[in-house]
Structure 1
């Protein structure tokens, strides 16, 4: 039997300040290929080029990755400010309806960083434009200096809901993760159940309540060296198991 196919949502990138491309981080590609056992496929976040139903027909599941641009606040009823940073309206137009459709059709989905925030907005939640500006919150952004190894190094613990989905995947109620985000959940969406928090109370792990299939997301970046990280590997393995099960049903 062929391997499952995972659609990795792409991000806009400009080569030499003039040539636009759609790209996905190698860490995301390797995490899918090395841990889930699936074939990674980059999905262009261009609404005029792809349709939600066609994507679901083509892929067994989707990885909603991190990205520099943020979800536009118009999607949660707020005005854009300088603190919100840059936006990618094309990705918004693909990712938000795709998340809702995948939940409805039992298609496995995993969100990372921006993807975590997209899950929340897709179900009516809102975001803070800058976590570090809130009283009592830590700076969750990527360290400005150092090597990639240093930037993606573990920085804080996540406390998980005892007996929850994430605690069962990791086999414990506390895990150590990296931190490379500026925005975060302000108001959880209607179906968003938070299962993990950073020490300052920032939501870091969620699932879509009542979803008939796999629909989970994390605010950190588990794709970095996922095959050797004791937290990242079981997360991607659980995603891979859901993908394999759906692929097998489709091939039967």
Structure 2
């Protein structure tokens, strides 16, 4: 039987002097293929090229990846400032309605970093442009120097709500994660439940209250070394199981009424 398809929301890059490309990190594809045991399908994140309705029919679940461009603050009613960094308005235009559609349908999705922030904005929430500028907060950005192993190293704990979805899924109320983000949740959107925080209070794990299907998001990057990290194995394994259940429902014979 064919593996379920996970649509991986990619980012737009200038590869060389104006040669534009849609791509995603290899570690995302590896996490989907090797840990979730699904087929990774990179999605060109531009509604001029793909439609949400078509994606929902083709894919059994979605991975909303991280990326250097941020959600444009106009999407949550804030003015653009230099602190907000770079943007990808085409990705905004595709992913925000895609998130809402997945929530409505119960179609599985996992948000990572920017994807975590997209889920909050899609549900009506807002973002801080720079977490490290807030009183009492730490610098959550990727270290500017060092190897990838050093930049993606586990750096702080995340504490989950006892008995909450992440505690139940991961089997622990506290895990150690990497941290590579500048922005973060300011106000949680409708039905967005903050289920995990860093020691400085920064939201790190959310779920959608009353969602019909798998709808979890994390601020860290579980795709790094996913096959060898127990937390990542649990997250991507759960996404894969949810996608298989969705695919089985899609393939199930439909009762004829006439």
Shorter chain as denominator, the TM-score bin is over 0.9
Q: With structure 1 as the length reference, what TM-score do the two structures score?
A: 0.99
Structure 2 residue matching 1:217: 3-state secondary structure:
strand
1:114 deviates by 0.1
Corresponding residue of 2:146: 146
1:215 deviates by 0.5
Q: CA–CA distance in 2 between the matches of 1:239 and 1:167?
A: 16
Where do 5+ consecutive residues of structure 1 fail to align? Answer: none
Structure 2 residue matching 1:227: 3-state secondary structure:
helix
Q: CA–CA distance in 2 between the matches of 1:98 and 1:190?
A: 16
Corresponding residue of 1:73: 73
Where do 5+ consecutive residues of structure 2 fail to align? Answer: 253-258
Q: CA–CA distance in 1 between the matches of 2:48 and 2:12?
A: 14
Summarize deviations over 1:91-120 as a string: whole Å, max 9, x none.
Answer: 000000000001111110000000000000
Q: CA–CA distance in 1 between the matches of 2:48 and 2:220?
A: 30
Corresponding residue of 1:25: 25
Does residue 205 (structure 1) correspond to residue 205 (structure 2)? The answer is yes
Structure 2 residue matching 1:242: 3-state secondary structure:
helix
Structure 2 residue matching 1:248: 3-state secondary structure:
helix
State how many pairs are aligned.
Answer: 252
Structure 2 residue matching 1:14: 3-state secondary structure:
strand
Using the TM superposition, name which of 112-121 and 235-244 deviates more.
Answer: 235-244
Corresponding residue of 1:54: 54
Over the aligned positions, Cα root-mean-square deviation in angstroms equals: 0.5
Q: CA–CA distance in 1 between the matches of 2:174 and 2:209?
A: 21
Corresponding residue of 2:9: 9
Q: With structure 2 as the length reference, what TM-score do the two structures score?
A: 0.97
- Runs of 4 or more above 4 Å deviation: none
Describe how 1:167-182 pairs up with structure 2 within 5 A. 167-182=167-182
Corresponding residue of 1:246: 246
Corresponding residue of 1:165: 165
Describe how 1:68-147 pairs up with structure 2 within 5 A. 68-147=68-147
Q: CA–CA distance in 2 between the matches of 1:7 and 1:188?
A: 25
